[in-house]
Chains A and B, each alone.
Chain A
């Protein structure tokens, strides 16, 4: 091969290499950027006076004087709205019966839209659910609700050959000729004064419990649950995995049983996580009865079984990678096998073992399927350390799934869902990062 072709080959390899790295980076950006931008919105957003009211009455947070002056100022603008409503209600009574019936249903819609925007209106009975006690707490949501208030959504299915299309009809037009027609421009122009949006940093999203199934408040119970489950799984799986790896590499005699055990271990690493979930339910809860029903301990054990093969394999590889010369040196000094393993082999293999451990920890934190039947509940408060043996817990992975698919008002609280995703991704990234740092530090210490 002459120099020319060799150079071309080298260059094209470099180009392909750089190209694939760029593709990977772009793919990562496409995944991570929306997670970050959406997730950040759970903490940093434009909050309304409703948000501050909610914080004050649900969490006793905020300064009461400032709040009451804010509320007073917003009520001044709202008073006009209430006035118009009572005016129209009086007008309704004077209408002809069929006209009255028509307007009454439309008026009910207007009222509902207003309630969504501003919270309970005068004359409403006190709502049962916390979510109805307040108007829109986030300004971008308020703008959406304003649209719902101004326009009635209708579906055009005149053409049976195509899908029905949504279109909007201005409510102001339907109330043409009544006193209520003035309400729409008024609300549109004065919404800002009624809701007083301002930039809000809500760290409570991380540290608060949720109120009314994630309508308000934060995700602390989920974060804590994830932490308990992942760390609990680690407490079982890590020592067990390292001991098993030491057995496989140092003590097991090569033979049929040993190779069977190893291939069983490899197979286990590839089993879908839902299978572990079912196993956890069947074995830990139904057979072993580690707890009455779902509990943190059952979930942690199930996750431990799931990550055990990975830990064993990582530890095995790390141990096998320790130079044979260390072992020889130690034994030749009159060390026992066990002592050699404990004082020379394991310390030298530690970076690899820890990396495997932390990656498994990240996996345990992120898995949903194994905890569905064993540990996770959709809504709950943060549990104490003493309760891990008896009570289930909310956890990030499961609650993300739950919010996305099963929550009755999923579309209302997308920001919570994204916030949870961001929290989970950050936790896993942080774990992996700490693995890298830890590994680098120990390796540096070992290399001198």
Chain B
């Protein structure tokens, strides 16, 4: 629970943020700020409503897990947050999705700037076919860092944060595709961290990894908790209960239950949630 404390002890940030928020939304519990907030938010693929009128508040610097059966709209919801769904022409939304109180789908929102603040790690590791260094430096270069020394600093810091520095420090100039799957995934995390986002979206980041690599990623999430707002989609109940502070349960596009992880896993309010987490249906 240190994370809560540490996030609470960032008053400067909180103050600036609170200006954007209506008073009733400012605090959910224990003095936390809402970082991302959905209001009656629906996502459609053409006619098909994949996410249905979701209302939820994602707390700043917490880890939020998203669970639910396959096809229930977890990825769709997650990808909506940094507008990755823009790549799908048929996809459109209704309702509001706020980030720092500003509508993500607002007319004047700069999605490029938004994505810089909301980083994403995908289910399948997707490093660029470039060197490890260039992979990490890609984001910073994009945002105007060209000084070689500074880039090196960022690369080292990011790789260390992602707990992969020791494994790759002697082959930064080698192609990233030569790394193992687990290493590639941590590299992708490092690449995202190098941009210094505020939010980290993780879509089943460990589904392609073996238990050892999975443990490393989970450790990593623990490390990052308190410094970033993290949202993680997972099919693994243990993982959700291990790494997250609060959990959202989706079913067929509907947000069935959203509560603190401890509560959702020990004392779910909804019978459907209970059925799901006890494995009575998948």
Query: Any chain B CB within 8 A of the CB of A348?
Result: yes
Chain B residues contacting A8 (CB-CB under 8 Å) are none
Q: Which stretch in B108-116, B146-154, B229-237 binds the other chain?
A: B108-116
Closest-by-CB residue of B relative to A323 is B126
B112 touches A334 (CB 8 A): yes
Query: Any chain B CB within 8 A of the CB of A327?
Result: yes
Query: Any chain B CB within 8 A of the CB of A286?
Result: no
Q: A334-B142, A343-B138, A448-B175 are in contact. Are A329 and B113 (CB under 8 A)?
A: no
Chain A residues contacting B178 (CB-CB under 8 Å) are 448
B177 touches A448 (CB 8 A): yes
Task: State the interface size on chain B (CB cutoff 8 A).
Answer: 31
- Complex CA distance for A430 and B40, rounded to whole angstroms: 64
Query: Any chain A CB within 8 A of the CB of B25?
Result: no
Interface residues of A in 318-352 (CB under 8 A from B): 323-336, 339, 343-344, 347-348
Contact of B116 among A325, A333, A448 (CB under 8 A): A333
Chain A residues contacting B128 (CB-CB under 8 Å) are 326, 329-330, 344, 348
Shortest CB–CB separation between residue B215 and chain A, in angstroms? 24
Number of A-B contacts (CB under 8 A): 78
Query: Any chain B CB within 8 A of the CB of A99?
Result: no
Q: A331-B87, A334-B142, A447-B175 are in contact. Are A325 and B126 (CB under 8 A)?
A: yes
Closest-by-CB residue of A relative to B118 is A332
Chain A residues contacting B84 (CB-CB under 8 Å) are 328, 331-332
B138 touches A333 (CB 8 A): yes
- Complex CA distance for A347 and B188, rounded to whole angstroms: 19
- Complex CA distance for A329 and B139, rounded to whole angstroms: 10
Most B C-beta atoms less than 10 A away, residue of A330, A446, A448: A448
Interface residues of A in 288-346 (CB under 8 A from B): 323-336, 339, 343-344
A334 touches B143 (CB 8 A): yes
How extensive is the interface on chain A, given as a class?
20 to 34
Most A C-beta atoms less than 10 A away, residue of B84, B89, B127, B128: B128
B175 touches A445 (CB 8 A): yes
List 13 A-B pairs, Cβ < 8 Å. Answer: A325-B122, A326-B126, A326-B128, A326-B129, A328-B87, A328-B120, A328-B126, A331-B84, A332-B122, A333-B115, A333-B116, A333-B139, A447-B177
Q: A323-B126, A325-B124 are in contact. Are A333 and B191 (CB under 8 A)?
A: yes
Closest-by-CB residue of B relative to A448 is B175
Chain B residues contacting A339 (CB-CB under 8 Å) are 142
